[in-house]
A = this chain, B = another copy of it.
Amino acid sequence: MDRFFSILATCPLFFNIGEEDFAALLSCLNAKTRHYERGEMVFRAEDPATHVGIVAAGAVDVVQEDFWGNRVILTRLTQGDLFGEAFSCAGVEKLPVSVMAVEDTAILLVDYRRTITTCSNACAFHTRLIFNMLRILASKNIALTRKIEFVTRRTTREKLLAYLSAQANEARRGEFTIPFDRQALAEYLAVDRSAMSAELSRMQREGLLTYEKNRFALKAPRDSS
């Protein structure tokens, strides 16, 4: 288990908790590392949402079954990723999704109640865990809201402009680099890659912006007077 410490230390749930507290924390949380082979279920839809998981090694898919029985992969999680926290914190009775190992995988499972309940030992880190959990949920919230602002635009051009404008605002200047390559950006904005490429060059031709690889420059910036 020792070798997972460095991975867990990078997980935002344990942010600002000293490594020296780790052993105590994991035992107080009754955390268990479990191993799964490819195809094994970590969580099963309809299970109660009592635990949160952290991918210590390997990868899992979060999958959902639709009304017709088709299995849809919602997302793939890898080392350091946290899952199940939203369902636990929201107090849902039954998980609406399953989590399945896509390869040999190690998962740290912790009981949700123990993380957000101050224990009888008055461990110092419980407060920190709660604070971290709030931050995790809130940050994800902001990221999801942002994404929705982009993907709910009707046209590829509008999606691009909304996204690029947000990036420019964040960078506080019209020139900036984005963390996606074209394929990833297209997936993020939920559009076709080649259509997006075409739209980008059209916009460049029209003088709205210039770009080269991941570096973009928006033109006609706001009057900053």
Contacts and interface: CB of A to CB of B under 8 A. Distances in A.
Nearest to A174: B67
Nearest to A224: B69
Nearest to A152: B190
A165 interface: yes
A74 B141 contact: no
Instruction: Give the copy number.
Output: 2
A207 interface: no
A73 to B, nearest CB: 11
Contact of A134 (B67, B118, B133, B190): B133
Given A137-B137, A174-B67, A86 B221 contact: no
Interface string A140-156: 11101101110111100
17 contacts: A66-B169, A67-B165, A68-B222, A69-B222, A69-B223, A90-B138, A90-B139, A92-B142, A133-B134, A134-B137, A137-B137, A141-B141, A141-B144, A144-B145, A148-B148, A151-B190, A153-B190
**10 A-B pairs with least C-beta separation:** A89-B138, A69-B222, A90-B138, A137-B137, A144-B144, A67-B165, A152-B190, A66-B165, A67-B168, A86-B141
